[in-house]
């Protein structure tokens, strides 16, 4: 015996006695994506691919004995020093040794083992959204990317805090524990440290903006029956 169908309900959609806000959200998540939204998803996938080629963040140290400064760039998968053959990272580690800071080692940044994998997931989910063509595909990707972005910034901050607060008490030079800025400029001993996002991060912001545009362009499309 077939169950009675609620009058006015479409196949795959909730019955009319469902709370209004849940019914509205259900319909929104099942909206179809139009051409503009799918093009935004394609552009978003390409943007993530390009972002891997550029640094995400740059730390710059300037002191009287280093008038040109020392540079450390952070990519999604590596830490790279400025100067000839990336020698700035060695100079930074030598300076850190005098204040008792642990040597900056790429192996300590476990996020770099996860980040390339997650970028691959973002690309695959964007392509999946183009093929499947429902609003929920874009929303899922946006939420995942936002969560991972917040996690990465938090992990980066914790790493900076750990390096600046676990100083060797027997180091030749003693300074107060500190946290290198994640964004901005500050004075540390006789060094001026600046930390700012680089092109790779800006491209990831473009990626998030493209996801928002993909949602915007299809916000009034007809919901698909499921």
d(CA 75, CA 35) in angstroms, rounded, equals 33
Q: In which domain, by residue range, is 186 found?
A: 34-217
| Residue 130 lies inside a defined structural domain of this protein | yes
Q: For 11-23, what is each residue's pLDDT tens digit? A: 455 555 556 656 6
d(CA 88, CA 91) in angstroms, rounded, equals 5
CATH label of the domain that carries residue 159: 1.20.140
pLDDT at 132: 93
| Residue 26 lies inside a defined structural domain of this protein | no
| Residue 23 lies inside a defined structural domain of this protein | no
| Residue 18 lies inside a defined structural domain of this protein | no
Residue 95: how many other CB atoms lie within 10 Å: 18
pLDDT at 1: 47
Q: Is the pLDDT of residue 189 over 80?
A: no
| Residue 80 lies inside a defined structural domain of this protein | yes
Q: For 47-58, what is each residue's pLDDT tens digit? A: 999 999 999 999
User: Which one, of 48, 61, 57, 72, lies nearest residue 155 by Cα?
Assistant: 57
**Across the chain, what does the average pLDDT equal?**
84
Q: Is the pLDDT of residue 201 over 80?
A: yes
| Residue 93 lies inside a defined structural domain of this protein | yes
Average pLDDT over residues 201-221: 94
pLDDT at 90: 86
Average pLDDT over residues 180-192: 82
Average pLDDT over residues 165-190: 81
Burial (CB count <10 Å: 0-12, 13-18, 19+), residue 26: middle
How many domains would you assign to the chain? 1
Q: For 84-121, what is each residue's pLDDT tens digit? A: 777 888 888 887 777 888 888 777 777 788 999 999 99
| Residue 196 lies inside a defined structural domain of this protein | yes
| Residue 1 lies inside a defined structural domain of this protein | no
For the chain, percent of residues with pLDDT exceeding 90: 40
125-154 per-residue burial string, b: 16 or more CB within 10 A, e: under 16: bbeebbeebbbebbbebbeebeebbeebee
pLDDT at 52: 94
Q: Please, what is the end-to-end C-alpha distance for the chain in angstroms?
A: 22
């Amino acid at each position: 015996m077939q169950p009675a169908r609620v009058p006015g309900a479409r196949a795959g959609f909730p019955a009319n006695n469902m709370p209004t806000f849940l019914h509205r959200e259900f319909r929104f998540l099942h909206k179809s994506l139009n051409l503009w939204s799918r093009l935004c998803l394609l552009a978003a996938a390409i943007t993530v691919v390009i972002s891997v080629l550029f640094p995400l963040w740059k730390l710059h140290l300037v002191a009287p004995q280093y008038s040109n400064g020392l540079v450390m760039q952070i990519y999604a998968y590596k830490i790279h020093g400025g100067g000839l053959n990336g020698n700035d990272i060695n100079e930074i580690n030598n300076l850190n040794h005098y204040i008792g800071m642990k040597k900056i080692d790429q192996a300590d940044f476990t996020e770099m083992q996860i980040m390339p994998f997650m970028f691959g997931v973002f690309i695959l989910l964007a392509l999946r959204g183009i093929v499947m063509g429902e609003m929920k595909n874009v929303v899922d990707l946006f939420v995942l990317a936002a969560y991972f972005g917040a996690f990465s910034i938090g992990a980066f901050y914790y790493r900076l805090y750990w390096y600046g607060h676990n100083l060797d008490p027997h180091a030749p030079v003693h300074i107060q524990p500190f946290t290198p800025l994640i964004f901005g400029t500050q004075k540390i001993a006789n060094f001026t440290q600046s930390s700012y996002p680089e092109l790779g991060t800006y491209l990831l912001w473009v990626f998030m903006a493209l996801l928002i545009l993909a949602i915007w362009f299809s916000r009034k499309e007809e919901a698909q029956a499921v």
